[in-house]
Amino acid sequence: MQKILVVEDDMHINMMVCDLLSHNGYATSSAYSGTEALLLLSQNSFSLVILDLMLPGKTGEEVLQELRMTQNIPIVVLTAKSDKETTVKLLQMGADDYLVKPFDNNELLARITVQLRRSAPEDNSETPNALSFKGMTLDLDGHDAYIDGKKLGLSKREFEILRLMIPYPQKVFTKDNLYKSVWGGEFFGDDNTINVHISRLRAKLSAADPCQEYIQTVWGVGFKMKV
* Segment 44-82, tens digit of pLDDT: 999 999 999 999 989 999 999 888 888 888 999 998 877
Q: For residue 161, what are the contacts with CB-CB under 8 A and spacing of at least 6?
A: 178, 182, 197, 198, 201
**For 182, which DSSP code?**
I
pLDDT in tens, 114-133: 888 877 765 444 445 888 88
**Phi, psi angles (nearest 5°) of residue 61:** -65, -40
- CA 219 from chain center: how many Å? 37
pTM of the full structure: 0.54
pLDDT of amino acid 125: 46
Q: Residue type at 132?
A: S
Q: Which domains does the chain have, with CATH numbers?
A: 3-119 (3.40.50.2300), 130-225 (1.10.10.10)
pLDDT of residue 83: 78
Helices 191-208, 156-165: axis angle to 10 degrees equals 80
Q: Is 151 helix (H, G, I), strand (E, B) or coil?
A: strand
pLDDT digits (tens, 9 = 90+) for 147-159: 887 889 888 889 9
Pairing between β-strand 130-133 and β-strand 97-100 as defined by DSSP bridges: unpaired
Q: CA-CA distance, 174 to 83, in Å (whole number)?
A: 44
Are 16 and 6 contacting, i.e. CB atoms less than 8 angstroms apart? no
Name the 3-class secondary structure at 158: helix
Residue-by-residue DSSP string for 183-216 = I-S---S-HHHHHHHHHHHHHHHHHH-TT---EE
Q: In a 3-state reduction of DSSP, which class is residue 54? A: coil
CB 76 within 8 A of CB 97: yes
Q: Is the pLDDT reported for residue 190 higher than 70?
A: no
pLDDT confidence bin for 225, thresholds 50/70/90: very high
